[in-house]
Amino acid sequence: MTVLRAVRVPQGEAMFVQPDVVFEVRSPGDETYEKLSFYAAVGVDAVVVVERETTAVQVFARAGGDLVLAAPSASGWTLQDEKRDAGSRSLDSARAGW
C-alpha cells in the first residue's frame, strides 16, 4: 500500500513505486499467491497475506530472488531483517540481541 496526497500524484504520467512490503487481503478465487513471483521480480522484500474469513496471516520474505513463507517465532511474530536478501528471523532471536 502506498499513500500519496492528491497534489503529489503526477498528472498524465505513469507513476511507479517499489514498495518494501505489500499487504494482500485474500478474497475467494483471487490470485494472491500467483502474484508472489511478480512482487519478487520487482524487488518487494515481503508480502503479508491476510485471509479475509479467518484473519490468519502469512508472511512471505525475500530469500535470494524469491519470496518464501517465513515461519513465525514461538511468540507468533516474524521479523524481516534490515539487510536485503537476508530472509527473516524470529522476533525472539532479535530480542536476544537487544
**pLDDT digits 0-9 by tens, 70-90:** 987 777 776 655 544 444 444
Q: What pTM, to 2 d.p., does this model score? A: 0.66
Q: Which residues contact 64 (CB under 8 A, 6 or more apart)?
A: 85
Q: Which residues contact 11 (CB under 8 A, 6 or more apart)?
A: none
**pLDDT digits 0-9 by tens, 8-56:** 777 777 777 678 888 999 988 899 999 999 999 988 888 999 999 898 8
E-assigned strands of the chain? Answer: 21-26, 46-51, 57-63, 66-69, 78-80, 88-90
The confidence score (pLDDT) of residue 4 equals 61
